[in-house]
Structure 1
C-alpha cells in the first residue's frame, strides 16, 4: 500500500500521479513546497522516496525548494540516495531467478535511475552536506550502502 499523506499533492507525487500533481499546482502554486502534517515531507521528497524522475524534474522546473527538511531533518537528496528496490522489483528478480542476467540488468537499471535522480538534484544545487537527525549526510548514506558511483557524484559536488 505505501504511505498515506494528509496533503493530496504529496500523495500524488508519492503515487507517481503526474497529472494530479500538475492539476493541483495549476489550482494553487502554494502546494509546491507544502509540507505534509505527519512527517513534514514535501511533494519533492515524496517523489524522491519513490524515484519518480518525471515528477522530480517537473517540481524542480517549478522551482521547488530542494533544501526543505522533513521532521526527520532529511532533504530530498537523502531519499534519492537511499532509494531502494520496491517489492515488485524483488518479485521480478525472484521470478526471473533462473535468468540471473536479467536480474542483474534490472539492478543496474535501478542504480542508473537513482543516479539520474541525484544528477537532477545536484544540478538544482541541493545542499549535499545537509544532515538528518542522526547527523548523516547523503554522502554518508551512499558510503554505508556502498553506492560507489553515487558516492563519487556527491564527493564531486561537495
Structure 2
C-alpha cells in the first residue's frame, strides 16, 4: 500500500483498538489522507471490507466523499466483490456440495451490501466516477439506491 499514516494502516489492518485510540487522541486523524495514494482511514477500511471500522468512522462523521489520488471515494471500494483466493478455492472444492459454496457467496455479498448501505445512509456521492471510467465514456458506472 505504500507509506500510510498510522490510522490508515490501522484501518487497513482491521486494528479497531488502534483506530479508536488514535481518534480519541486527535480527531484530526478522521479524514487525514496518506501521502502515497491519498487514501483516508475510511477508504482503507472499505478497501478491505472492515465493516466494524467503517461503522465506527461513520459514527465520527467521516467524510464519505473525499477522493484519493485515483479520484475514487470509499464507495468505489465498497462495491467491489471481495473473494480471496481461499474463498475461490473453497467454492471450487465444495462445488459438489453447492449449498456450502452458495452460502459462502451469499455471506460475502450480504457483508458487502451492509457496507454499501452504511455509506449510502451517510450521504456518499453516488454519482462519483473514478479517473479510469471518466476517461472512457462507454464504461459509465451506475450505482443504484438500495
Structure 2 length-normalised TM: 0.87
Distance 1:88 1:4 in 2: 25
Q: Are residue 41 (structure 1) and residue 39 (structure 2) matched?
A: yes
Q: Deviations over 1:27-60 (max 9, x none)?
A: 1111111111111110000110111111000000
Q: 1:60 maps to what in 2?
A: 58
- Structure number with the higher helix fraction is 1
Distance 1:95 1:22 in 2: 39
Structure 1 length-normalised TM: 0.81
In structure 1, stretches of 5+ residues that fail to align are 144-153
Which 4+ residue blocks in structure 1 deviate beyond 6 angstroms?
A: none
Aligned residues: 141
Q: Deviations over 1:122-141 (max 9, x none)?
A: 000100001111218xxx55
Q: 1:114 maps to what in 2?
A: 112
Aligned 1:3-152 pairs, distance under 5 A: 3-134=1-132, 135=134, 140-141=140-141
Cα distance, 1:112 vs structure 2: 0.8
Distance 1:130 1:90 in 2: 30
Q: 2:144 maps to what in 1?
A: 155
Distance 1:9 1:86 in 2: 24
Distance 2:18 2:95 in 1: 36
Q: 1:27 to 1:88 in 2, by over 3 A?
A: farther
